[in-house]
Structure 1
Amino acid sequence: MTDTTTVDPESVDQRSRPDKKAARSGGGGLFRTFWRWHFYASFLVIPVLLVLASTGLVYLLRFQIEPLLHADLMKVDVPSSGTRLSYDAQAASLLKAYPDGRIAAVLEPSDADRSTDFSLSTAAPGTPSWEDDTIREVYVNPYTGEVLGELDPNKTVSGYAKNLHSNFMAGDLGAYVMELGACWAIVMAITGYYMYWRGRAARARRKAARAAGAALRHKHATIGLFVGVGLLALVASGLPWTIWWGAKAQELATSQGTSFWSEDPGAQSSAPTLDASVPHSHAVPWGEGKSTVPTSEGTAASRSTADQIGFDGAIETANVRGLHHPMTVIPPADEKGVYSVIGYAFNEPGHESALHIDQFTGKPVAEFGYDQYGALAKVVGQGIALHEGRRFGTANMVVSGLFCVAVMFMCVAGPLMWWRRRPKGASMGAPRGRLSLKAGPVAVVGLIALGVGLPLFGASLVAVFALDQLVLRRVAPLRNFFNVA
């Protein structure tokens, strides 16, 4: 049983009314207010963070997980000669096995014992790749040309993880919930830091006394000290992806002459953007996603696919220009299109580049890379690389993986602490406290500023206050259940 005679904020029995002296001083009362916000925010934040952390961990390790699960498709035996077939020969072998297919992209093998990954579409010509649901990843042995098999990129473990991570696989509604949960995660982190600082003495005493639940609370607070920093960083770097804030912030940036993305200065046509040309299973550098794709120069009606430079010619040109491997090559969609070669530079965002090559002459039509990004696009690109655990190579991946595990621990430890101290009867056992301008002016102003900067969060904040004032405080059973001060 918790000792209610002490005024330590963390040792106050939440089934009793707050200590009046502490409330007047703004100490224990403000602590309980922050605790209350932390408690109720968790109902939205914990499910969102649990999904984000678990799916993020899977996606982070996708290059290790998928080859283990699909070794028969993704791994090959290296012959003693070590000689690979040309990409055009591999493509011919693929189309022989899939005569009705159309190659949408080819990804170079990342290592000698890896197969070549072809994106194959059976959709009607002209269908944008980003809405092509027929895309399949077909794997070819680069040494023999044997077609090893296919996968639906949306139905792999990492495919499910990616789709869950973006919107819970629930369309726009899921994307809004995800964004709202990320916004409230900021509140969780800030209130958590306040509680860590104000409650440190009480936690130390309870741990020394070996009080029930003290060890778990200490771990929750200590791990949270580090998780909060990463959480704030990941939320900030993930906001450009969000359905509402990301879109509105990009509109604002565009009106000021800048952009989250960058425009391709070499694009002269009204062709689709690069991210609309690339199959959804392949990554496009963030800064290049909205760059438009130019046309081939000097095309002639008498020319045919036999006159094209092919995948090998495109890669040879890209090699001369110094693009990073492994490259992704997108073939022309029609007689006016280009070969677009993407050097993603996975661990080095500053080296990523896209080269558009005339399909008949093999001459570069346009090249667009990190150096052409605007300042804002460079910052966002670096932030996203950090978010995806690839900015600093293996070290970044290891730290990001540990962070995901720590977040999952926090998502379990929090509800477990509540379960152990939950009261009997019709009550949630929520901490009792009320935020006021007099008791916490900085907190009130900060909350308003956060609501203005993140309007979706601000709208939810208005809804929470309206529910509190118009419903919870006026209906006695609800007032008691939610422990309204």
Structure 2
Amino acid sequence: MSFSSSPQAGRPRGVPDLYRAVWRWHFYAGLLVVPFLILLSVTGALYAFRAEIDTLIHRDVMRVVAQPGPRHAPEQLVAAALRAQPGTAFRYVPPARPDASAEIGIRTAAGERLVVYADPHSGHVLGAIADKGTAMGIVRRLHSLAFFGPVANGLIEIAAGWSILLVGTGLYLWWPRPSGETGREKGGVVTVRGHPGRRIFWRDLHAVTGAGVGVVLLFLAITGMPWSVFWGSTVNQWANGHNFGYPAGLRVALPMSEEHLGHAAPTSWSLEQARLPHSTGHGAQPIGLDAAVAAFDRLELAPGYAVSLPVGGNGVYTGSVYPNDLARQRVVHLDQYSGQALLDMGYADYGPLGRALEWGINIHLGQQWGLANQIGLVLFCLGILVLCVSGTVMWWKRRPKGALGVPPLPRERRVLRGVVAMLAVGGIIFPLVGLSLLVMLALDRVLVRLAARGRVREAA
């Protein structure tokens, strides 16, 4: 295979240098991110309906027959779960609705974390699943490549950053111009010409679809960055006040542990670095889980909240809930002896950056506008798949036989350097993307040299 990047390998010779330079880097960005975008689109579309799919697949343990009358107390259900699966309970999730089971998180002696499901009406244990091991838990870990460790998760961060560059360069290439400026006929802006057997059909389909979903892809890439392994964790620590973590106005004079909320319980991005307060009533009798759940109910936490159990004599009961309605996001820490609410935090307490990011994350997860948000996400994920497929087919039909078909270099190299300088701004904002940009620059130089050698051999 050759690495042709001559003008004959792509657009006509009349294409402006800036267009050539942007097109070349749009090609590189697509080459890097298309496999990831396909993975993210498929898993993202599934995860938008995570509750519905998990309930369907795991209905034998997640759903019960609703019955009138009192339900078993939380401590009774935890005791039943521990009889079925010995270990240490670390979390309890009260049933969010009459036909839902209770969830008890248990850490076994071997260190395995399980979720045991119990019928709150009969007290019977229904079964157990590994913590984060539901169908949608697996899909989420595939979505972030967390299955494969932090290095793979870093690849997703790089792909998200290059997706931002992909959208920017793609919108420039799509922008309507007189046909003489790009060497193409009019069309392909909002209409698709030709038929699937022709390359122009795929070019137009790619351009029109990109114009329709590009802004959403940009939004999803940016709102996905808070979960990234490097950029997300770094910005999280900066945004939370040098690793202290509590929103502005909640820095109170309480004894604090070194344990972070993100380690103890599922929590929002804004509170991952929040440290847990200490319970202070040593020597007193702990109130127990039943009283803690009753206290959270009195405080009107939204249904579906989870209770993290105290760890050691200084630990606290933590009730946390992250419903579709951002205004009802809440984390409450209770003293395990007095039952007093030590800290009560909600969405309104976050700083401006935290509120903006949480709003974006809520849309990214398909929660902000209910079913409309879910359906919209699925449609946009399908649009991204069309974008990936059409771009791949278009490239395959365009490339010279036996060549990679890298778009041609601009005649003036300074134009290419100017485009790279603009891309470097993104590399500064997202350092892992910047490192990958340096790698791509080195590969581009290699491709140019290989192409030059090929032309010299042909001339000889």
What does residue range 51-70 of structure 1 map to in structure 2 within 5 Å? 51-70=39-58
Q: Is the 8 A contact 1:259 1:376 kept in 2?
A: no
Where relative contact order (Cα < 8 A, 6+ residues apart) is larger, the structure is 2
- Structure 1 residue 101 corresponds to structure 2 residue 81: no
> Residues 373 and 189 from structure 1, CA distance in 2 versus in 1: closer, same or farther, beyond 3 angstroms?
same
What does residue range 126-165 of structure 1 map to in structure 2 within 5 Å? 134-165=112-143
> Counterpart in 2 of 1:284?
267
User: Which residue identity lines up with residue 322 of structure 1 in the other structure?
Assistant: E
Aligned counterparts of 1:219 and 1:82: Cα–Cα separation in 2: 59
Which secondary structure does the structure 2 equivalent of 1:151 belong to? strand
Q: Is the 8 A contact 1:258 1:374 kept in 2?
A: no
> Counterpart in 2 of 1:429?
405
> Residues 447 and 137 from structure 1, CA distance in 2 versus in 1: closer, same or farther, beyond 3 angstroms?
same
> Residues 404 and 239 from structure 1, CA distance in 2 versus in 1: closer, same or farther, beyond 3 angstroms?
same
Aligned counterparts of 1:107 and 1:234: Cα–Cα separation in 2: 30
Q: Is the 8 A contact 1:260 1:376 kept in 2?
A: no
What does residue range 385-424 of structure 1 map to in structure 2 within 5 Å? 385-424=362-401
What does residue range 30-45 of structure 1 map to in structure 2 within 5 Å? 30-45=18-33
Q: String of CA shifts for 1:190-245, please: whole Å, max 9, x gaps.
A: 12112222468243799556571433333322221122111111121122222222
User: Which residue identity lines up with residue 119 of structure 1 in the other structure?
Assistant: G
> Residues 294 and 411 from structure 1, CA distance in 2 versus in 1: closer, same or farther, beyond 3 angstroms?
same
Aligned counterparts of 2:167 and 2:454: Cα–Cα separation in 1: 27
Q: Is the 8 A contact 1:14 1:429 kept in 2?
A: no
Q: Is the 8 A contact 2:191 2:204 kept in 1?
A: no
> Residues 188 and 295 from structure 1, CA distance in 2 versus in 1: closer, same or farther, beyond 3 angstroms?
same
> Counterpart in 2 of 1:188?
166
1:456 to 432, 435, 442: 432
Which secondary structure does the structure 2 equivalent of 1:367 belong to? strand
Aligned counterparts of 2:32 and 2:419: Cα–Cα separation in 1: 21
Structure 1 position 32, deviation (Å): 3.5
Structure 1 position 76, deviation (Å): 0.9
> Residues 342 and 206 from structure 1, CA distance in 2 versus in 1: closer, same or farther, beyond 3 angstroms?
closer
User: Which residue identity lines up with residue 271 of structure 2 in the other structure?
Assistant: E
> Residues 261 and 368 from structure 1, CA distance in 2 versus in 1: closer, same or farther, beyond 3 angstroms?
closer
User: Which residue identity lines up with residue 291 of structure 1 in the other structure?
Assistant: A
- Structure 1 residue 367 corresponds to structure 2 residue 344: yes
User: Which residue identity lines up with residue 207 of structure 2 in the other structure?
Assistant: A
Aligned counterparts of 1:399 and 1:259: Cα–Cα separation in 2: 37
What does residue range 243-258 of structure 1 map to in structure 2 within 5 Å? 243-250=229-236, 252-253=238-239
What does residue range 62-461 of structure 1 map to in structure 2 within 5 Å? 62-79=50-67, 81-98=68-85, 100-123=86-109, 134-167=112-145, 169-198=147-176, 201-203=186-188, 208=193, 212-250=198-236, 252-253=238-239, 262=247, 265-266=251-252, 267-278=254-265, 283-300=266-283, 307-344=285-322, 346-424=323-401, 426-434=402-410, 439=415, 443-461=419-437
Which secondary structure does the structure 1 equivalent of 2:136 belong to? helix
For structure 2, which runs of at least 5 residues remain unmatched after alignment?
1-5, 177-183, 456-460
> Residues 369 and 441 from structure 1, CA distance in 2 versus in 1: closer, same or farther, beyond 3 angstroms?
same
Structure 1 position 260, deviation (Å): 8.1
Aligned counterparts of 1:17 and 1:395: Cα–Cα separation in 2: 41
> Residues 142 and 268 from structure 1, CA distance in 2 versus in 1: closer, same or farther, beyond 3 angstroms?
same
User: Which residue identity lines up with residue 232 of structure 2 in the other structure?
Assistant: G
Q: CA RMSD in A?
A: 3.0
Q: Is the 8 A contact 1:261 1:289 kept in 2?
A: no
Q: String of CA shifts for 1:324-378, please: whole Å, max 9, x gaps.
A: 222111111122222111132x112232121111222222222222233222222
Q: Is the 8 A contact 2:245 2:275 kept in 1?
A: no
Aligned counterparts of 1:172 and 1:377: Cα–Cα separation in 2: 24
Aligned counterparts of 1:410 and 1:139: Cα–Cα separation in 2: 42
TM-score by length of 2: 0.86
For structure 1, which runs of at least 5 residues remain unmatched after alignment?
1-12, 125-132, 481-485
